[in-house]
Amino acid sequence: MDAQSQLETSKLVINLPYFELIITGSRDWVDRRSVHLPLTRLLKRHGRLLIRNGKNRRGADRIVSDWSSHFIDELVLERPYLPDWDTHGNYAGNLRNQDMVDAGAQAVMAWANPCRKNGRWCPPGEHPSHGTADCVKRARKAGIPVFFSPEGMSW
């Protein structure tokens, strides 16, 4: 959608509330199409999207950011949630996830690859990347429905 048609669309939807969405996903997610398609569908259905995004520089967060940047804020408004690593260390990502959940959303979309860390905190067997799993767990605890990309893991 070019800028002019976005402006015209925004006049039609300006009275609609934003559909609020939390996005989460693995840092090694590379498939852009599996991100663009559901977001575009959601935007068409609801007219306006507010996206809470943890803004990792790579992976699903980045792909969502790049997609959002093609739209004016009246249609797709991205709210960044940057983890404060200096203050909270390794736990910063979890606190950031909780901030997104506390801010509220009508849904969570998750693009989850298996964890490839093989670290000492990893449970045995295949499991989703930890940040994504943490965000999903917190969202569910708050009663927010979670939708998984069919191209990734779901649980």
In the bound complex, what is the minimum distance in angstroms from residue 26's beta carbon to Zn ion?
A: 11
In the bound complex, what is the minimum distance in angstroms from residue 123's beta carbon to Zn ion?
A: 7
Site string for Zn ion, 62-101 (x = CB under 5 A): ----------------------------------------
Q: Are 112 and 26 in contact (CB under 8 A)?
A: yes
Cβ neighbours for 103, distance < 8 A, ≥ 6 positions apart:
52, 79, 81
In the bound complex, what is the minimum distance in angstroms from residue 121's beta carbon to Zn ion?
A: 7
Q: Are 25 and 112 in contact (CB under 8 A)?
A: yes
Site string for Zn ion, 96-125 (x = CB under 5 A): -------------------x-x----x---
In this complex, which beta carbon is closest to Zn ion, that of residue 86 or of residue 121? Answer: 121
SS3 state of residue 25? strand
Neighbour count for residue 84 (Cβ, 10 Å): 13
Alpha carbon 68 to its chain centroid, in Å, reads 11
Give the footprint of Zn ion on this chain (CB under 5 A).
115, 117, 122
